[in-house]
Amino acid sequence: MPGIKLQKRDKDFFVSYGHPDVAKVADIVALLDDKCGLRLWFDAIEGNAAQRSSELLSGAIRNCRGTLICLSKAWLASTWCKAEYEVSLNEQRANDGFELVCARLDDAEAPPWLQASEIIDLRQLDARGMARLLCSLASDVPHRFDNEHDVYLAVPWSRRSALARESLEVLRNVGWRLIGDAPNLMHLADDRVRAIQRTTRGVVALLPHDPTQPGSATSPYILEEAQFGLQQELPVLLLVEPGVAVPADMVQSSFRGAAFELQPSTEGRRALADHLDIFDEYLKSRPRKRAGSYIFWASSLRNDPDGAGAVSSVIERASNMECVRGVRLAEDNVQKAIIDRIRHAALVVADVSDDHRNTLIEAGIAMGTGTPLRLMCREPPAGTPLKKRFMFEGQEFFWYRNEQERLCLAYYFARQFRRRVYVVR
């Protein structure tokens, strides 16, 4: 029986660990939960070993979008952990987008049967390990973070037909970065979809045949996303499975005034490739719009280059957007270039801990231009009152005590602006 669709699952990650490691795992969970804003199934909260059953285990994992494996000698010795891994592996095979993340807690060697693309070293819960973990929480690693070749893909999130999967294979070869709305951020609704589409060169809508849907016999959600693209005067390419009846006005407004019908054959795939090449040539003639396609990171340019670089990497992986800073600018008027970058950013994240002049100016520019702004600041020593700055009255401050917490806050901010990148396998 099919499980809950990924986008409707309640938790982000199931935490699989050996119970002798509970104290160390609890520290990791606290960072991911409290600072990153992730929803975790952690049995120190949800239950305990005495209450475990195969039904509880499978039900918990199947209500999550991924599993975090805390590899250790205790984990290897636990039959429950092995069972958790098996259920998680089956979920990954059945659901495109189910994440399987592995972190090493001690010197335990990974067994041959453990299928993990990377094992993150968390023997010491330091900033380097935390940055690596945060950058590994999603496997859809894009080949680039800028929007130079972005095309919005409206496609079923799950249970795709064989014809849809074949068509996605052809799409992969065009060279676009195919992006879409993130399934776990549905609360941002239509405005988010429109905002993402505005940063792309065009929209490709792959409409599946669904005879249970009245009228068009296809997904109303994908039709709606295609309509959003047309409303924003973006080129929209309609790819339809046989039996789909797209509304005539939508067809007329789409690319070449026609919907391309997919066919399950070698000739059909070749015809699709040719049609995509024609659409690609048309997209190349359209100007690239950078506004809203990146996050601006404001921090000290000199005092902490390594830490700031780690934050940049976390921001890019959490959002799948380019992280821009006020450095290495080619324009003659650097001040104007920085103002333009801040004005057109989707978000500005600023660390105002040490009152660095440039950072304060950049945060002030964000306030003046109306760009969404998130302020983070290091907590002062115990007993010292929190510093208040007149210019930031009314702005919320997010406090951190160490570099690990700063990285987690950056992840939390950036993830709210995440767009999905379709890595077609």
pLDDT score at 425: 54
At 182, the pLDDT band (50, 70, 90 cuts) reads confident
SS3 at position 372: coil
Whole-number mean pLDDT of the chain? 90
The rounded distance, in Å, linking the Cα atoms of 24 and 123 is 10
pLDDT score at 157: 80
Q: State how far the alpha carbon of 80 is from the alpha carbons of 57, 74, 274, in Å.
A: 9, 11, 51
Question: Between 96 and 168, where is the model more confident?
Answer: 168
pTM: 0.91
Mean pLDDT of 9-32: 95
pLDDT score at 50: 47
Query: In 295-316, which positions are buried (b, 16+ CB within 10 angstroms) versus exposed (e)?
Result: bbbbbbeeebeebbebbbbbbb
Nearest partner of 400 among 353, 347, 348, judged by Cα: 353
At 423, the pLDDT band (50, 70, 90 cuts) reads confident
Whether residue 183 is predicted with pLDDT greater than 80 in this model: the reply is no
Q: What is the pLDDT of residues 32-62, one digit of tens each?
A: 999 999 999 998 655 455 455 566 677 899 9
Query: In 363-376, which positions are buried (b, 16+ CB within 10 angstroms) versus exposed (e)?
Result: bbbbbeeebebbbb
What share of the chain has pLDDT > 90, as a percent? 71
Strand partners, 376: 351, 398
Q: What is the pLDDT of residues 196-230, one digit of tens each?
A: 999 999 999 999 999 999 999 999 999 999 999 99
The rounded distance, in Å, linking the Cα atoms of 324 and 332 is 18
Are 329 and 337 spatial neighbours (Cβ–Cβ below 8 Å)?
Answer: yes
Domains and their CATH numbers in the chain = 6-125 (3.40.50.10140), 150-284 (3.40.50), 294-421 (3.40.50.450)
Whether residue 385 is predicted with pLDDT greater than 50 in this model: the reply is yes
Nearest partner of 404 among 122, 11, 115, 104, judged by Cα: 122
Q: Tell how far CA 386 is from the center of its chain.
A: 33
User: Could you give phi then psi for residue 401, rounded to 5 degrees?
Assistant: -105, -20
The rounded distance, in Å, linking the Cα atoms of 159 and 251 is 25
SS3 at position 127: helix
Mean pLDDT of 272-285: 96
Token readout for 142 is: 């894009």
Are 173 and 273 spatial neighbours (Cβ–Cβ below 8 Å)?
Answer: yes
pLDDT score at 351: 94
At 94, the pLDDT band (50, 70, 90 cuts) reads confident
Mean pLDDT of 110-134: 92
The rounded distance, in Å, linking the Cα atoms of 206 and 164 is 8
The rounded distance, in Å, linking the Cα atoms of 340 and 323 is 15
SS3 at position 420: strand
Whether residue 330 is predicted with pLDDT greater than 80 in this model: the reply is no
* DSSP per position, 310-369: HHHHHHHHHHSSEEE-S-S--SS-HHHHHHHHHHT-SEEEEE-TT--HHHHHHHHHHHHH
Mean pLDDT of 315-325: 95
Are 247 and 259 spatial neighbours (Cβ–Cβ below 8 Å)?
Answer: no
Whether residue 153 is predicted with pLDDT greater than 60 in this model: the reply is yes
Mean pLDDT of 238-256: 96
Angle at 351 between CA 389 and CA 373, to 5 degrees: 80
User: Could you give phi then psi for residue 14, rounded to 5 degrees?
Assistant: -90, 130
